[in-house]
Amino acid sequence: MESFANPDEFVGNLLSLQADSLALIALYDQDDVLRYANRSFRAAYNIAPDEQLSWSAIMRRNYEAGVGTVLKTANFDDWLVSTQSRRGKTAFRAFETNLVDGRWLWMTETVQPNGWMLCIASDITQLRADDRRLRQDRDLALRASQTDELTGVANRRFIMARLDALVSRPPEPEGVKGCIAVLDIDNFKSINDRYGHQAGDEVLLDFARQAHSFVRRLDCFGRIGGEEFMFILPGTDLGEGVRILERVFTRIRSARPLKAWPEFSYTCSAGVTALRSGDTAPEVFSRADRGLYLAKLEGRNRINVV
């Protein structure tokens, strides 16, 4: 490590340059709450010097005020779920984004193992507009390839890639690598048969929205097919994984997603397993899926640990 004759002077200069930089610099904690932002970032996203808001609160306020990032959506909550399905789920991500004031930014997100994330954006407005459109089309295509079209959460391709990445990582110092859960909406065919496929889609959307609200920075949640979904919980032991699922189950049991049938309610089942040394992604997925199958056999509306 390089040493400096006057460390205090070095740190002071670094902080001063960072604060005055034209680049947009921000640091979010593991709960996605803004802990530091320089003047350029705060000005771009309408944040007061003393505010420490969550990223979702910043984006919601800017969307409602018509400032900050250009969001081409008629439903902010749908956009939020879709974006949070990818935000902070990989160690590094780079993409382009445009602001309401006309600027075009190149944004990078660097995520530490503890969930803290550094965001740095550079102004690339001067690049040729035609090139920008091509790159934006590329980014939109990539996003579509990672997103479930109906629910807006991560799709099977994206979440299976995250599972591959997790099983390849060394365990945490305390030996906990993580756990995964496979969840399924109970009696979903009966819901479709009785209320119609449009109602079935509304239940799927509700389930995705309710379950996704429990996703932490390093967690991942997505739809893997039909009425089946998966949670990936890195660095989480089975006990904590079950507690998270129990909170999801409580929320689902109280949900009433069908306006035409206000008394309608539904439940789900889950299989959960811890990652073990030497596991492959297919092995750990198969084990959790078997747990789900057993939960169904045991009467549904329950969690089976395998």
Instruction: Return the minimum-mean-pLDDT range out of 134-148, 259-273, 279-293.
Output: 134-148
Question: Which residue would you say has higher pLDDT here, 143 or 276?
Answer: 276
Per-residue pLDDT at 258: 96
User: What top-level class would CATH report for the domain 7-145?
Assistant: alpha beta
Return d(Cα 46, Cα 68) in angstroms, integer.
Answer: 7
Fold of 156-305: Alpha-Beta Plaits (3.30.70)
- Asked if domains 7-145 and 156-305 share a fold, the reply is no
> What pLDDT is recorded for position 263?
96
pLDDT at 139: 73
Q: Where are the strands (E) in 99-217, listed by range?
A: 104-111, 117-123, 178-185
| pLDDT the model gives residue 1 | 42
Mean pLDDT of 202-215: 96
What are the φ and ψ backbone dihedral angles of 237, each rounded to 5 degrees? -80, 170
Joined together, the tokens standing for residue 174 give: 């305390």
Q: Out of 2, 172, 227, 298, pick the active-site residue.
A: 227
Out of 14-23, 48-57, 201-210, pick the least confident: 14-23
pLDDT score of 15 more than 80: no
10 against 62, higher pLDDT: 62
- Whether 150 contacts 197, CB under 8 Å: no
Sketch the domain layout of the chain as residue ranges. 7-145, 156-305
* Cα–Cα distance for residue pair 92/110, rounded to 1 Å: 5
Annotated catalytic residue 227:
yes
Q: How far apart are CA 199 and CA 105, in angstroms?
A: 40
- CA-to-CA separations, 252 to 41, 81, 157, 186, 212, in angstroms, rounded: 38, 17, 25, 11, 11
